[in-house]
Structures are given as structure tokens and as C-alpha cells.
């Protein structure tokens, strides 16, 4: 998608803005953007998506040098493995940076709710 088209989306949606920022900051050789949202602590499903798109390998290590992964928020809440999802994102951020890739986790409304002390959607398993 052209940057001018992404720029027009940026004013209308957070996802459009995230993709625009990801492509604007892409280094030479970074050609693919994968956007994933609303993981909600569902670690096995999140890992499955990342493996099927080739972002990570069977050992859950960064595998795609030319990719920008944008996690567009809501990695937490509702599911039982929010912490593990955040740990994986932090691991991928570091690994991607070493391989000319990029992992960009964004805050969604559920992360902001937790920061503000609103825990109504947090799973007891997270504690």
C-alpha cells in the first residue's frame, strides 16, 4: 500500500497510523508489515499466527529478517496468558532489532485500562 494511502488512513484509525509509522520508519530491506491485534492473552493462538506468517520459528524465535511486526494493542486481558504474550513481544522486539526487522507493540485500550487501575477484564490466572 502506498504511503500516501496510509497517511490518509492515519487520520481515521489507530491501525492506519500504526502501519504508517511502521512503514515510515522502515529501513532498507524491510518489505513486509504484519499487523496483529486483540491477542487478549491467547498465547497459543498468537504463536500460531506468528509461525504461520513466518515471523517466528518453531522455537518461538524471530525468523523473518525483512518483516515489521506491529502488535496493534490489546495483547492483555480476557485470556489467561497475558504476561507470556507481553514477554514474547519484548523478546521479539530485541531479536528483530538484531536482524534488520522490527517489532512494534502498541498500547490498546485494555493495556491503558490496566495502567489506570481498571482491572475488570484481567483474568485471575494472570495473578
Overall pTM surpassing 0.85 (yes/no): no
Residues with active-site annotation: 110
- Mean pLDDT (whole number) for 67-79: 93
Angle of CA points 98, 106, 29, to nearest 5°: 35
Task: Count how many Cα atoms sit within 13 Å of the Cα of residue 31 in the half-sphere of its side chain.
Answer: 3
User: 11 in a domain, yes or no?
Assistant: no
- Mean pLDDT (whole number) for 84-102: 95
- Mean pLDDT (whole number) for 87-92: 98
> So what's the pLDDT on residue 127?
73
User: 99 in a domain, yes or no?
Assistant: yes
Segments forming the whole domain that contains residue 43: 29-126
User: 51 in a domain, yes or no?
Assistant: yes
Q: What CATH number corresponds to the domain at position 74? A: 3.60.21.10
pLDDT at 32 over 50: yes
pLDDT at 29 over 80: no
Q: How many domains does the chain have?
A: 1
Higher confidence at residue 7 or residue 60?
Answer: 60
User: 9 in a domain, yes or no?
Assistant: no
Higher confidence at residue 106 or residue 22?
Answer: 106
pLDDT at 44 over 60: yes
User: 74 in a domain, yes or no?
Assistant: yes
> So what's the pLDDT on residue 6?
44
Please state, in angstroms and as integers, the Cα–Cα distance from residue 4 to each residue in 9, 11, 30, 104, following that order. Answer: 9, 12, 18, 21
Minimal CA–CA distance to 125: which of 52, 41, 60, 62?
A: 41
- Residue 65 pLDDT grade (very low, low, confident, very high; cuts 50, 70, 90): confident
User: 116 in a domain, yes or no?
Assistant: yes
Amino acid at each position: 500500500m502506498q504511503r500516501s494511502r496510509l497517511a490518509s488512513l492515519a487520520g481515521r484509525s489507530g491501525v492506519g497510523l500504526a502501519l504508517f509509522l511502521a512503514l515510515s520508519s522502515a529501513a532498507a530491506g524491510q518489505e513486509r508489515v504484519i499487523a496483529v491485534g486483540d491477542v487478549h492473552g491467547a498465547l497459543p493462538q498468537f504463536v500460531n499466527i506468528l509461525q504461520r506468517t513466518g515471523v517466528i520459528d518453531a522455537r518461538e524465535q524471530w525468523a523473518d529478517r525483512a518483516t515489521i511486526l506491529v502488535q496493534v494493542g490489546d495483547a492483555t486481558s480476557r485470556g489467561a496468558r497475558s504476561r507470556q504474550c507481553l514477554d514474547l513481544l519484548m523478546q521479539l522486539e530485541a531479536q528483530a532489532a538484531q536482524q534488520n526487522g522490527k517489532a512494534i507493540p502498541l498500547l490498546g485500550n485494555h493495556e491503558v485500562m490496566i495502567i489506570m487501575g481498571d482491572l475488570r477484564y484481567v483474568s485471575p490466572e494472570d495473578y
